Every structure is written in C-alpha cells, then in structure tokens.
Chain A
Amino acid sequence: MDEASTAGDGQAAAPRRAAGRPRASESAHGSLAVLLNLVRGGVATTRQELEIQSELGRAVVTDRLATLLKLGLIEEGELGPALGGRAPRHVRFRPRMGIILAAVLDHSSLAVGVSDLTGRLLAEHHEAAELAAGPEPVVQRLATLFAWMLEEHGSEGGIWGIGLAVPGAVEKPDGQRLFAPALTAFQNWDGFPFIEQLATLVGAPVWVRSGVQTMTMGELKSGSGIGLTDMIFVKLGRSISAGVISEGALHRGAQGAAGLIGYTFTEGGTLETVAGSEALAREARQAAESDRSPYLASVLARSGEVTVTDAGHGAQLGDPFCIDLLGRCGRAVGEILAPLANLLNPSLIVLGGSVAETGDILLAAVREAVYRQSHPVVTRDLRIVRSQMGGSAGLVGAAQVVAEALFDAKFLQGWITLGSPREHPEFKDFLARAALDTGTRPAKPRPPGGTLA
C-alpha cells in the first residue's frame, strides 16, 4: 500500500529512535503493527529488510514474523536473490484474510460492495431504494445484502470492517465515539442509532464518510486520479458538492464538512437549485409539456416522467433544448469551479454523478468556463474529465477508507495481537454501549441479524 495508509491521522508508523526514550515499537503490539505495515506496503518483504527498516533486532523480527504468520496476516512467498549466504524468503500480506464491506446510500438508490483488505472491489450491486422512507428498512436491507455477499465472497477471517457513505456532510467523531458520528443525512434519521444497529447486525466496526468524500477517494484509488496528489472531484447529482485531495490527502475540514459548493450563490439561485439534477429535470419536464423539446415530449408521453438522463440522451441526439439546458448547467458549474482551481491548483478535476453522466456537452461548457476564469499557470496542465467509475467510485472509496483505518498505526495496535479488528476493545465497548442504548429505547422487534432474504 502507500505511505498515506500507514501514516493515518498523522500517526508515524515507525517512530524515530531517540536516546533515553523507550521505543513505542518495543511492545509486542507496536512491533507487530510496524512490521505488518512494512510488509503490507511492500516497503520491506524479507527478514533482513524488515530489520533495517524497523530498527528492531533480529530475534524480535523473527519472533514477530512467526506471530504474524500464525495470525494468518502474512504468508511466506518465493525466495529472493541470494546476496552471499542463504537466499532470503519473501513474506507477503494476505489480502483475503478478512473482507471489507462497503455501502453507499443516496436519496434514491443504494449500493453495496465487497472488497479484499487492500480495498480492491470483488463484487458490487446497485439498486433503487427510497431512503426517505426511514432508516429501519435501510439498515435491514444492507444487512440482508451483506449476508448474501458474504455467502458468495466470504473469507476465513470474516468481515473486518464496513465503509459507509451517506449524502451530505459527516461530522468528525468527537473523540469519545471512535466509529460513529451521528447521522443527519436524512431529516427523519435524526436520533436513530443507524451505525450502532448496522455494526451490531453485521458484527464489525463501521467507518462513515460523506458520499462525495468516498467518491473522491475511489477516483484517486482506481479512477482517473491514480498516482496524482492534487485533484478535485465534483459530484453533480441531486446535490452538488466537491471532494478535495491536496498533497495526497483527503481534505475533510474542521468539522468534516469541506466541499459543500452547492450552497454557493450563482445567477438564479444557489448552484444546487440551478444545476442540480432535480432542477434540470424540472426544466426538462416543463419543456416536454410545452412542446419546446420534441425529444423530451416523446419521452414524457412514453414513460410519464423526464429525468436528467433523458435530457443528456436528447442532447446527444441533437435536441436543441437539451443541448442548451446542459450547456447552461455546465457554465454555472464551471464558474463556481474556477475560483477553486485558482485557490488549489489541482492537476485534475473529475466530474461525477448523474448530471455529469449526461455527456460531452456539459463537460465542454465546464471546461470553457474554468479555462476562461483561471490563471494560465493553473490551467496549463489542468485536465477536466468525466468520471468513468459511475456509482462504483463511492464503493471503492468507502472500502479504501476502511482499508486505511484498519491498518492505521494507532488502531492496528489495539487489535493486532487479538487477530481481528472485531476484537478491538474499543469496538467491543461500542457494541456494549449500542446494546445498552437499544435496550433502553422502546425498540420495535427486529429479525435476527444476517438473515437471508
């Protein structure tokens, strides 16, 4: 993996040795965590390399490697080249020792995925869902889909963590609550212990981020952003928001709410009320009803509704109203993005979400507006592209959030000798508190966890 994943929230994976101060890695937990992350990141894969990189003695390294092998976290690989003496045996991380589950909730759909411990997606599924109906059916649906995915892609170590993406901003936990910020993504979810129930049903810790932040992580991990350090991802859907990667790290902001650009005022209202998918669908419907767009009128007659996808398709077929609508939308978005480009100097801007998927007309309008209003140095090598990951970006990113959190040096030390993050004392405490919370609430009877169908 990469440096960022081992560094976590500013925790140094291998602290520098200082005279007169005992090393953190001298404890069994500390040295196991250090060695595992060196192997996982491919920094050191033989005993000798591990000794050099970790600054631990031979006996300690040998002992800790034996423990990691016994825990199933690493395995022995092929022999490396001999440099005088016996050829060294490589060791490698076992990404299928556990699995990560990912879920993305949006206003009208949900998605679930399963990944290995490197965050590589093994399977995904997307379906329509009405999330305004309330949290209870959603948490049950997720548990059901997760149980099904587990049957198809289970691993010996079971589920190690769940990454959850929700619409809107997600506040950073306040320090007392390691995993679970209060979810306020939907108005009627206020106060409902969604994370507690999901963690209890699935039996694994949950990490939560905003949808746009996981999409940004996904685009960086396996989309157009691979290998880049400075990029902006813009989600153009029902809501409009941005995720920022600056010098290789996701910028979350003081409260975790960075990127809410949909609230910025532009001509005609906020960006969301001008260029959000609902605003566009409303305009498209009006055009269909007043016969200003023959294409949209035919869609309305056939299906009874008009969506932004239809407008995009109409534009591709040359319908003048649809071309104008998406051109206006792209200009509005581009005018809000230009100051961001000037401020942050990204090398890439990726547009995702249902509005971005409408095609090249919108993309061209965004490019034109950004290039016109930005400093020449800012735009010299700036690429503006459409995301090709669709809804998969959020799933890949949610899995990536968990992959990084599980092996964050501080968290890793809490579970490594116990063999699984599910055994982490803080997670056990979390489950106990959740059970207490549920016990004191007048809860409706619920089916047992992990039921199929």
Chain B
Amino acid sequence: MAITGLGPHGERAVPADQIGLSDADADAARNRHFSVAVVLHTTMSDWAKQELAGIVATLGRYGAAVVEVIDCGFDVDRQIAELQRLVSEPVDAVISIPIGSARAADAHRAIAAAGKKLLLLDNAPTGMLPGKDYVSVISTDNFGLGQIGAELLAPHVAEGGKIGVLAYGVDFFATHEREIAFRKWIATHRPDLSLVRGKFADVSQAKAATAGLLQANPDLAGLFAVWDVPAAGAVAAIREAGKTVPVTTVDLGNDVAADLAAGGLIKGIAAQLPYDQGVAAGIATILGLIDRQPPPWIALPGLSVTSANVVEAYQLVWRAPAPTALLKARKARKSIS
C-alpha cells in the first residue's frame, strides 16, 4: 500500500523500509555503546509491547542499550516530569510518544536543547521542528489508516445513510489525521452519506459518547472509531441499545479482532505494524546518533484487515499465532466456502 499522508510539516514520507545502516555505520555505532531511554504513553497495550520489542531488538543489534523504559500512564504531567528528569540523565537519545500537543512540547524541546537526540513516535507537537527540536518522526501513515477505515465501512452503509465518527477530543496529530482522511474519503467517494461526530477525551468515555450519538441519531448506519479501545466501547454501547451498526476502526487489538472474525459489528480494521515501526525507530535513532540525519518523516503503510484475512494479519501484526477464536472462525468460513 502506498503512503498517502504528509508529515506534520508537510514532508513527503520516506518509507520505513528504505532507511538502513551501512556496515561501516553499524560498526561505528557499535563502537560507541550508546544509551537510549524510551518514553511511552503506556507500556501495557499490545501495541506498546510490540513497538518496544522492535526498538529494543534493533538497538541491541547496533550495540545500544535501552537503559530506561518509562510508562507515563497516559498522564501528560507525568511525561513532562520524566522528560525533565531525563535531561540530566546520562542517556544519548530519547525515543518518545508525546501525549497531547501543546503542553508536552517544551519538555520535549528540553531534551534536544540538552544535546540529546530526540526521536518521536506518531506525534510531533505543533511548533516543534525537525533538525532543531527532534531528529525524526516515525509513524504509521495515519492518513492512510483513516482512508482504509472509510473504504471498509462504505460497503456496509446503504445509500443516503448517516454515519458517525467517534473522535478523540485531545490535540493529537495521529488521531486528527485519521479523522480528516476518513471524512475526506467519504466526501469524495460517498457524497450521498451524511456525517455526525461524537467525541471522547478519555477512552473510558467512549461508550457513553457512542450512546449519546445513538440517542441523538437513531438512524445511525455506520461508525468509525479512531482506535480499537474506544471502538470496543462503541460496540458495547451499540449492543446495549439493541442496534446493529457496522463499525470500523484502527489497530488490531484482541477484542476487535475477535469481533471481526466472529462476524460481529466490527466490519474492518486498519492495522498498524508496531514491531516494524519500532525497528524503524531504532534505525533512525542510530542514524541520528552517528549524525547521519535520517529523514524527518518516516512512515509505514497501514494494513487493511477484514474477516477474510484476520488470521494472517494477526500473525503479521503481533508476530504470534492467532488465538483459537480467530482460527475457529476461519475454519467455519472455509467450510462454508
């Protein structure tokens, strides 16, 4: 799949599989024994675990040690405090996923100002500049993820229907791009559909936000949730309301994958490849540390997942065999066809 989105400053993406290290660069990095800290919004999710695995394995390959992994628990204040502490720690580089945009910017800037290399995952707070404030942003093509979400939802919505977007009410580049792309695809390819919007600031509110959206729009005929955890909340709200509204989302989490495989409300998923993203982040970090200037916007294409390829996609995304429920659903489908 091509990368369709532009970077946070309009950069054309360099695909992650095009960046690499020469043997000489790799040797140079190994001789310098770099130390790297990783700051994540959470370390509990499957996405974060795979992302971290990719980072750690790659840095290990090039002689760099991951000396700290920080779980911010989705708390921007905690992230700011941890970054302020890292400024005076003996680490050469920090890989971080900024939580929110404006508030976290200064704390991230301080890392680069202290002479350390800063690599960003998914999000560049508005006003932060590559080269000056950070080395690269490494991200899935979020614009592309939103397009996939729309493409997979459209066939399940009858002409003239009303569909909803369950949006994240926090200033976050990745989820904004998904929403903008979803809307654009629908406006271009299905201008017959009308659009309404529900918003949540915290994933725990996703179910209530969906319930509110259903109450205000009893004729809702489809929903796109900007990632899988709120999508699971949305599915619960739709079921509670006794309705069958098709849903698409982003990220192949276990709950939504099982629902997709079982022929539930989830009709399609735009998946990221977090391990591959972690590998790219690791390579970009090494390139930055040896002053080889990796591109400012390194992106990975999204993966379109339906019930037909959910098992294979699961293996690709999570690098593990699919759970029994997914395999059973696949077997059942095979025997029907």
- CB within 8 Å of A: which B122-176 residues: 126-127, 129-132, 143, 171, 176
Question: Does the CB pair B177–A125 fall under 8 Å?
Answer: yes
- Selected from A123, A357, A389, the residue in CB contact (under 8 A) with B171 is A123
Which of B2, B4, B126 lies at the interface centre, i.e. has the most chain A CB atoms within 10 A of its CB? B126
B292 interface residue, CB < 8 Å from A?
yes
Determine whether the beta carbon of B126 is less than 8 Å from that of A148: no
* B window 175-230: CB within 8 A of A: 176-177, 179-180, 183-184, 186-187, 195, 197
Decide if A453 is an interface residue (CB 8 Å cutoff).
yes
Interface string of A303-314 (1 = CB under 8 A from B): 100010100010
Interface secondary structure of B, over-half rule? loop
A392 touches B9 (CB 8 A): yes
The answer to whether A313 and B14 touch (CB under 8 A), given A127-B143, A390-B7, is: yes
Task: Please judge, given known A-B contacts A121-B127, A127-B5, A386-B131, whether A392 and B10 are in contact too, CB under 8 Å.
Answer: yes
A124 at the B interface (CB under 8 A)? yes
Determine which of B6, B9, B176, B187 lies in contact with A128 in the assembled complex, contact meaning CB atoms within 8 Å. B6
A231 within 8 A of B: no
How far is it, in angstroms, between the C-alpha of A359 and the C-alpha of B293 when the chains are bound?
Answer: 8
If A122-B126, A316-B293, A359-B293 touch, whether A453 touches B186 (CB-CB below 8 Å) is yes
Check B183 against A390 for contact (C-beta < 8 Å): no
Query: How far is the CB of B47 from the nearest CB of chain A, in Å?
Result: 24
A124 to B9, CA, bound (A): 8
- Does residue B254 face the partner (Cβ distance < 8 Å to A)? no
CB-based closest 5 A-B pairs: A391-B10, A390-B9, A126-B10, A453-B183, A388-B131
Q: A127-B6, A222-B127, A388-B132 are in contact. List 9 more A-B contacts (CB 8 A).
A: A122-B102, A124-B126, A299-B18, A360-B293, A388-B130, A390-B10, A391-B10, A391-B11, A452-B197
One of B2, B9, B14, B187 near A389 (C-beta < 8 A): B9
Q: Residue on A with the closest CB to B193?
A: A453
A357-B11 contact, Cβ under 8 Å, with A125-B176, A316-B292, A452-B195: yes
* Shortest Cβ distance from residue A108 to the other chain B in the assembled complex, whole angstroms: 10
Given A360-B293, A391-B11, residue A123 in contact with residue B6 (CB < 8 A): no
> Which B1-36 residues have a C-beta within 8 angstroms of A?
2, 4-12, 14, 18, 22
- Complex: A307 Cα to B15 Cα, angstroms: 13
**Minimal beta-carbon separation of A112 from chain B (angstroms):** 10
* A109-B6, A124-B126 given; A148·B11 CB < 8 A: no
Interface flag for B43 (CB, 8 Å): no
Q: List 26 A-B contacts (CB under 8 A).
A: A109-B10, A120-B127, A121-B126, A121-B127, A123-B176, A124-B8, A125-B176, A125-B177, A126-B6, A126-B7, A126-B8, A144-B183, A145-B180, A148-B180, A222-B127, A309-B295, A313-B14, A316-B293, A318-B22, A386-B131, A388-B130, A389-B9, A390-B11, A453-B183, A453-B187, A453-B195
What mask results when residues 195 to 220 of chain A are scored 1 for a CB within 8 Å of chain B, else 0?
A: 00000000000000000000000000
CB of B101 closer than 8 Å to a CB of A: yes
A122 CA / B101 CA spacing, docked (Å): 9
Whether the pair B129, A389 counts as a contact (CB closer than 8 A) is yes
| Residue B296 lies at the interface, judged by CB distance under 8 Å to chain A | yes
Against B, the Cβ 8 Å flags (1 = close, 0 = not) of A355-369 are 001011000000000
A309→B180 CA distance, assembly (Å): 25
